[in-house]
Structures are given as structure tokens and as C-alpha cells.
């Protein structure tokens, strides 16, 4: 039964509970068993909220017994990156310093809204320290391993999210993305991920990294689960100024409307020059599967390399400023690799930061013009599939590059201006999965999810449960 439940999507799980085939208590116990059985191999969870999960599952069963509908995600287990507040749990954000903080007294807004939709929270997931990492090789909690190949990274900084969903421990996970931290784990772990438009979903109750770049979003193994989780978390929230006035734009009801008159193009130039073969093949396969919306067209984002450089600078500056007091008082508690990057950011001249922000405004205007002629852009998510644990260098077009900073090669120019992105997994372009970015203009998440659904139905982009392999 546990293996059968692991293979179900979130909506399939909710349907099974709704029909009486299984109850929420059994679903949650099965999830807890799988988490315990795989912890030593994957190291996805840092905290398992067993008592909470059992209470929430019982409440779902009681609701059905009383003929009340708990919501579209009734009884569906989910877990969150450990920078989201969970009542009674210390929000460690992958750090040593935060372990001395008191436990959270309330849930993050996004967690509260998922639970309101009937989902059951089973715990917190491993991540890179303070989210400044692309591989989730955490100095305090250990590395999270990729379920498709335990010798490889699950990506980061939301690596625990990617691994937990790919391994079938939970159907849905909640992560964050500043420069690529949803899209990189989605690519490495071969699952769907959604980074919505900046400000679409409330970040209230999550530990920040870079205020002007931070996004939150869901991971799932099906597009329908991605859409339902996204819809459940929508709505204005005065606790997050970026989300204070955002209306709800439900995506799930529109999933099966097809491509319609959507116009699709490949991103060329920066996103194609020097792109390694597997990443390029995946992008081309996705584009060709979207015919006739894709007519072989290629477009370029002007100065995309500069956009990535400016994103680096803003990230370092805002991150260093946020952690300056902790650096002064507890520098020895940081992972040295993370600490030194924050220190460099804290010392960045203000003129550089201001120049980067001015360039950001220019770049946003240029990209707005691109979207006058196309609705969805296709680009690689990561330059390579999952790297090995401890791997420091990778070779791209004959050039050796450091792994950690360069996994965001294709993601940073996109999140730099807050565009919505779906990471679409491709399992057929090579021995390891790799994802493609589907990118739209701000507030057009529904268009992306429609395209993702077409790709899922075509079989080009799928997210099967990983069979744990050494």
C-alpha cells in the first residue's frame, strides 16, 4: 500500500480519500513510513512534524465523516523548505545560528493557505544555508542526495524539496527561488516547479534572503498538482508588501484549454551560445512538441549576460546587508563558503548596487518589448544535469567553471526581473533528467501552466517517481 500511495499525485490522493478507498490517516502514516525509511539515503528532511500531521489528517477524516469538504488537497501530504515558519518548529533556514531562535508561533501564510485547502504538513526540508547555495551541501545538516542517483546533488537551495517530491515522499513541496532555487532542484530531480511572478505569492513567515528577488513556489510531479497548490496559496497579504494588493488568478480551471493562440519561441543568443548538448536538446524537444505554437522562431533578451552579473551583485549586496550583524557577532557559525560570499556582498560599494538597479529597470523595459511579440519563451534551466556531490568544477564548451555559482547561468537573468517560470522536466534527453524553463510575461502563470499541461500530455515532459539508485 505504501508504494502505491507514493506513486499517486496529490489530486489522485485526495480523490482516493474522498471516495473512501483510503483515509487521510493511512495516507499520512504511509508518508511518515517512507520518510523514515529513506532518510539515511536521501537526507531530505530536517524536521518531521508527526504529531501535527496526524492531527491534521484526523481533522480531514472527521470533516468527511461530517459531510464537510476539507478542500481540493484534502489529506495530501506536503513539506516545506526549512525557512518557512511552522508552528512549534524553529525556522533554521539551513543555518546553525537560527537554531538558537525560539520556535515559530504561527505558520507562514503559504503554509496556512495550503492547510486551509486540506493539505497535511509532514515536516521541514533540508536546504542550502540561508538559501545562498545551488547544491544543498549543508555544512550543518549534511548533503541532500538525488533520488535518481545517490552520488549526485539534488540541487539547491531548495534541494530537500526536489528530493522529497522526486522520491515520492510527498506529492507537493514548498520552496523558494531567488536566483534559481526552485528551477535548479526541479532540473536535477526531474520534477515540475513553479516560480511565480515576483509578488504573486506571499512570502510572509519565510526567512528572507534577497528582498527584491525572493519568490516562493511549489514543486510537484504533475502539472495539475502544481496548479492546485499555486491556486491555494494565491491572494493578497498585507504582511508581504510585494503581495499586498495581488488578486487571485486561478490557473487550475484553465489547464486543459490547450495552446490556443499562444505564441512560443526559443530563447537564442546568450541562452543558446555555448549551451551544452543535453540542455540544448531538451529545449529543442520541448519547442518542437509545441507545434504549431512554435514555428521555429528564436528571440534574444538583450544584454542577458549583464542581467546575470547585475543579479549576482544585487544578491550579494542585499544578502550581505541582511546578515551583517550575524557576521559581526557569529562569523564562525557560518559555513565558510557561504560566509565569505556574504562578507564580500556587505563590502560592495553602494554605487555598484545602484548601477545594477538602474540596469535592472532598463532590462525589464527591453524584455517587456519582447513579450509584445511572443507569449512563452523556452530556455534551458540548468547547463548540465545533476552534478556529483562534492564536485567543484564542470566543463562547458571546453571551459572549466565552478559548479556552485554557475548552475544559475540560465535562471538568474529571468528571476532578475521577476518573470514567472515553470520548470518542465525532460527525462529523455540523456541518462539524467534535466529541465527546461517555460517563461512568460509578469502575471501570466496560467499561460505557462497550459503549455506545461500540453507537454505533459504529449509525454515529452513527465515526472515519474524515482527508484532509489546507488
User: Which residues lie closer than 8 Å to 37 by C-beta, 6 or more apart?
Assistant: none
> CA 448 from chain center: how many Å?
15
Query: Rg (Cα) of the chain, in Å, rounded?
Result: 21
∠ CA(299), CA(304), CA(306), 5° rounding? 160
Its sign, for the CA torsion 290, 294, 298, 300, is negative
Residue 96 is among the residues annotated as catalytic for this protein: no
Residue 17 CA neighbour count, 13 Å, CB half: 36
Query: How far is the C-alpha of 108 from the C-alpha of 112, rounded, in Å?
Result: 6
From 9, 30, 47, 81, active-site residue? 81
Written as one string, the DSSP assignment of 47-98 is: EE-HHHHHHHHHHHHHHHHTT----TTTT-EEEEETTB--TTS---TT-SGG
How would you label 41-80 residue by residue, b for 16+ Cβ within 10 Å and e otherwise? ebbbbbbbbeebbbebbeebbebbeeeeebbbbbbbbbbb
Residue 81 is among the residues annotated as catalytic for this protein: yes
From 30, 47, 95, 157, active-site residue? 157
Whether 230 contacts 251, CB under 8 Å: yes
Residue 47 is among the residues annotated as catalytic for this protein: no
From 158, 181, 202, 206, active-site residue? 181
Under DSSP, is residue 200 helix (H, G, I), strand (E, B) or coil?
coil
Residues designated as active site:
81, 157, 181
Amino acid at each position: 500500500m505504501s508504494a502505491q500511495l507514493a506513486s499517486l499525485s496529490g489530486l489522485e490522493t485526495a480523490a482516493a480519500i474522498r471516495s473512501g478507498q483510503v483515509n487521510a490517516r493511512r495516507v499520512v502514516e504511509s508518508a511518515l513510513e517512507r520518510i523514515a525509511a529513506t532518510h539515511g539515503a536521501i537526507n531530505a528532511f530536517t524536521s518531521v512534524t508527526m504529531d501535527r500531521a496526524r492531527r491534521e489528517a484526523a481533522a480531514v477524516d472527521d470533516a468527511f465523516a461530517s459531510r464537510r469538504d476539507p478542500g481540493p488537497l484534502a489529506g495530501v501530504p506536503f513539506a516545506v523548505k526549512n525557512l518557512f515558519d511552522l508552528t512549534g518548529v524553529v525556522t533554521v533556514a539551513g543555518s546553525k545560528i537560527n537554531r538558537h531562535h525560539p520556535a515559530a508561533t504561527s505558520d507562514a501564510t503559504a503554509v496556512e493557505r495550503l492547510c486551509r485547502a486540506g493539505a497535511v504538513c509532514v515536516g521541514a526540508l533540508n536546504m542550502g544555508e540561508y538559501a545562498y547555495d545551488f547544491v544543498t551541501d549543508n555544512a550543518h545538516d549534511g548533503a541532500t542526495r538525488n533520488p535518481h542517483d545517490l552520488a549526485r546533488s539534488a540541487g539547491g537551495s531548495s534541494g530537500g524539496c526536489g528530493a522529497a517530491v522526486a522520491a515520492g515522499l510527498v506529492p507537493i513541496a514548498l520552496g523558494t527561488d531567488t536566483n534559481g532555487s526552485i528551477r535548479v532542484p526541479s532540473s536535477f530531480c526531474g520534477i515540475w516547479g513553479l516560480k511565480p511572478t515576483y509578488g504573486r505569492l506571499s512570502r510572509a513567515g519565510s526567512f528572507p534572503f534577497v528582498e527584491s528577488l525572493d519568490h516562493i513556489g511549489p514543486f510537484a510531479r504533475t502539472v495539475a498538482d502544481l496548479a492546485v497548490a499555486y491556486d491555494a496559496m494565491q491572494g493578497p497579504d498585507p504582511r508581504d508588501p510585494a503581495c499586498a494588493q495581488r488578486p487571485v488568478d486561478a490557473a487550475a480551471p484553465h489547464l486543459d484549454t490547450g495552446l490556443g493562440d499562444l505564441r512560443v519561441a526559443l530563447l537564442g543568443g546568450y541562452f543558446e551560445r555555448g549551451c551544452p548538448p543535453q540542455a540544448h536538446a531538451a529545449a529543442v524537444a520541448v519547442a518542437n512538441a509545441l507545434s504549431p505554437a512554435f514555428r521555429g522562431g528564436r528571440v534574444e533578451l538583450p544584454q542577458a549576460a549583464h542581467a546575470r552579473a547585475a543579479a549576482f551583485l544585487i544578491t550579494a549586496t542585499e544578502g550581505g546587508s541582511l546578515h551583517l550583524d550575524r557576521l559581526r557577532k557569529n562569523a564562525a557559525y557560518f559555513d565558510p563558503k557561504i560566509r565569505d560570499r556574504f562578507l564580500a556582498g556587505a563590502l560592495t560599494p553602494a554605487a555598484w548596487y545602484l548601477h545594477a538597479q538602474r540596469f535592472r529597470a532598463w532590462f525589464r523595459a527591453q524584455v517587456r518589448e519582447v513579450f509584445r511579440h511572443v507569449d512563452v519563451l523556452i530556455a534551458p534551466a540548468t547547463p548540465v544535469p545533476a552534478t556529483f556531490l562534492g564536485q567543484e568544477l564542470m566543463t562547458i564548451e571546453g571551459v572549466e567553471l565552478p559548479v556552485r555559482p554557475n548552475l544559475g547561468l540560465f535562471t538568474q537573468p529571468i528571476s532578475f526581473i521577476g518573470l514567472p517560470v515553470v520548470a518542465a522536466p525532460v527525462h529523455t534527453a540523456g541518462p539524467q533528467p534535466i529541465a527546461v524553463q517555460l517563461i512568460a510575461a509578469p502575471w501570466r502563470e496560467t499561460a505557462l501552466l497550459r503549455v506545461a499541461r500540453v507537454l505533459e500530455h504529449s509525454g515529452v515532459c513527465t515526472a515519474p517517481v524515482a527508484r532509489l539508485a546507488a
